[in-house]
């Protein structure tokens, strides 16, 4: 049972435009959500997170939006840069859980 889903395996965006990566979850107990960025042959790096008490969190060019009623979160990258080309994973957890549940990832390609 895939509790965290990233339905778009890939996304291509023109440099300078907005990239929007989407993630859906099914477990209503999840109360904390994270985004990771991964380059080939490297470990994922933590990007940004959001608690369920918020609906938006911003860090520079990266903004995460959370819609609890729809069980949906998205990552916005504005403006997109070539270095943003990577695989992006969303992940979720809940209080008292020592683990993260990851989505399958979306490969973002920024076109110069």
The binding site for another protein (CB under 8 A) comprises: 32, 34, 36, 41-46, 49, 89, 93, 95, 98-100, 102-105
For another protein, give the closer residue by CB, 38 or 61: 38
Q: 103: buried, middle or exposed (CB in 10 Å: 19+, 13-18, 0-12)?
A: buried
Query: How near is the Cβ of 79 to another protein at its closest, in Å?
Result: 26
Query: How near is the Cβ of 102 to another protein at its closest, in Å?
Result: 4
User: Are β-strands 101-102 and 106-111 bridged in parallel, bridged antiparallel, or unpaired?
Assistant: unpaired
For another protein, give the closer residue by CB, 1 or 42: 42
Q: Compute the distance between CA of residue 46 and CA of residue 8 in angstroms, rounded to an integer.
A: 20
Query: How near is the Cβ of 107 to another protein at its closest, in Å?
Result: 10
Radius of gyration (Cα) for the chain, nearest Å? 13
Q: Compute the distance between CA of residue 107 and CA of residue 97 in angstroms, rounded to an integer.
A: 28
For another protein, give the closer residue by CB, 26 or 95: 95
Query: How near is the Cβ of 64 to another protein at its closest, in Å?
Result: 13
Largest CA distance in the chain: 43
For another protein, give the closer residue by CB, 44 or 66: 44
């Amino acid at each position: 049972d895939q509790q965290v889903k990233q339905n778009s395996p890939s996304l291509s965006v023109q440099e300078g435009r907005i990239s929007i990566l989407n993630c859906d979850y099914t477990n209503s107990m999840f109360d904390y959500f994270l985004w990771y960025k991964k380059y080939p042959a490297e470990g994922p790096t933590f990007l940004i997170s959001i608690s369920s008490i918020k609906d938006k969190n911003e860090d520079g060019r990266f903004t995460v939006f959370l819609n609890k009623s729809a069980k949906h979160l998205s990552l916005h990258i504005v403006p997109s840069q070539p270095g943003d080309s990577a695989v992006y994973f969303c992940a979720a957890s809940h209080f008292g859980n020592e683990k993260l549940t990851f989505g399958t990832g979306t490969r973002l390609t920024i076109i110069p």
